[in-house]
């Protein structure tokens, strides 16, 4: 596992052990939240992917119908219908507005289409769409307009889905990188640091215990030596008292014995 042999450079103290445990709790909680966020984004990603596939399938059919209706309008109304339409239109009636949708903290752009009432009704500068192609081919021109409006709706929906798809893809990649970093780097590093601090604290505790045992042993030997000296002193005092009761001190008796053992040079046998 990555980061297995790594740890943070910290001082092995009880306070730092508490700090590391708190950081491990935070990292574990953050990992769980990011994992849930990644799962939610993945579910939304797959749902958008299904919608994109369906929109692309319908887009093919819609674009085919709009192209066919344009060919019909040109056939019935003539090639000059394009100029007639361009002259009668000054502003777009179908407009697009954007907004954002929040999914698990990720803001996804959304596009929706709407029809401008002023532009659709002709307005002060636009001709009414119902009058376009009044001479000939008006029905085909209206059908062509409706087909292209439907194509625009499908394209707007597809653009919204595609943009959300790309945004979600980047968000999922970023979230997964954070999840992997917490799981494989941050948490193992903090756990190794906690193990290191516990080992150092246990070693210090063993050293203190050994030091206390040595001090207790030294104190015990010192007490035994003092007791032995006190016992010896008491025995000497007892012998001194007995000698004094007999009329001679222990020191004087020792001197007499020493003196009796010496040879007298003046006496010759």
Q: Report yes or no on 23 lying in a domain.
A: yes
- Which domain range does residue 77 map to? 14-197
For residue 46, what is the domain's CATH number? 1.10.287.3240
pLDDT at 81 exceeding the cut of 70: no
Answer yes or no: are the C-beta atoms of 55 and 161 closer than 8 Å.
yes
Q: Grade residue 79 by pLDDT with cuts at 50, 70 and 90.
A: low
In a domain, 74, yes or no: yes
> Is residue 5 included in any domain, yes or no?
no
pTM, entire model: 0.60
Question: What CA–CA distance (Å, rounded) separates 196 from 209?
Answer: 20
Domain membership of residue 231 (yes or no) is no
pLDDT at 140 over 80: no
Reduced to 3 states (helix: H, G, I; strand: E, B; else coil), residue 125 is: coil
Q: What three-state secondary structure class fits 4?
A: coil
**Structural domain contains residue 268:** no
Domain count, the chain: 1
166 in any annotated domain: yes
With respect to residue 174, please indicate whether it lies within any of the assigned structural domains.
yes
Mean pLDDT of the chain: 78
Structure tokens, 40: 């939610």
For the four alpha carbons of 262, 267, 268 and 269, in that order, the dihedral sign comes to: negative
CA distance 90 to 77: 21
Beta-strand (E) ranges in 186-251? Answer: none
* Under 8 Å between Cβ of 123 and 91: yes
Would 240 be classed as within a structural domain?
no
């Amino acid at each position: 596992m990555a980061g297995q042999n790594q740890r943070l450079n910290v001082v092995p103290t009880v306070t730092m052990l508490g700090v590391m445990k708190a950081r491990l709790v935070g990292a574990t909680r953050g990992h769980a939240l990011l994992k849930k966020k990644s799962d939610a984004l993945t579910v939304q990603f797959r749902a958008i992917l299904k919608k994109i596939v369906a929109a692309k399938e319908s887009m093919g059919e819609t674009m085919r119908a709009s192209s066919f209706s344009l060919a019909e309008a040109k056939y019935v109304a003539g090639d000059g219908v394009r100029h007639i339409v361009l002259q009668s239109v000054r502003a777009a009636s179908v407009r697009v507005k954007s907004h954002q949708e929040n999914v698990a903290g990720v803001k996804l752009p959304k596009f929706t289409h709407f029809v401008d009432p002023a532009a659709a009704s002709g307005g002060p500068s636009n001709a009414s769409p119902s009058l376009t192609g009044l001479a000939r081919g008006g029905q085909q021109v209206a059908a062509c307009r409706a087909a292209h409006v439907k194509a625009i709706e499908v394209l707007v929906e597809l653009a919204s889905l595609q943009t959300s798809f790309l945004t979600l893809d980047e968000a999922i990649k970023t979230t997964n990188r954070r999840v992997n970093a917490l799981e494989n780097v941050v948490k193992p590093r903090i756990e190794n640091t906690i193990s290191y601090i516990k080992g150092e604290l246990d070693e210090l505790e063993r050293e203190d215990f050994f030091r206390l045992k040595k001090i207790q042993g030294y104190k015990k030997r010192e007490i035994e030596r003092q007791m032995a000296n006190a016992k010896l002193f008491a025995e000497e005092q007892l012998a001194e008292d007995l000698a004094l009761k007999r009329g001679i001190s222990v020191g004087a008796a020792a001197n007499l014995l020493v003196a009796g053992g010496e040879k007298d040079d003046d006496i010759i046998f």
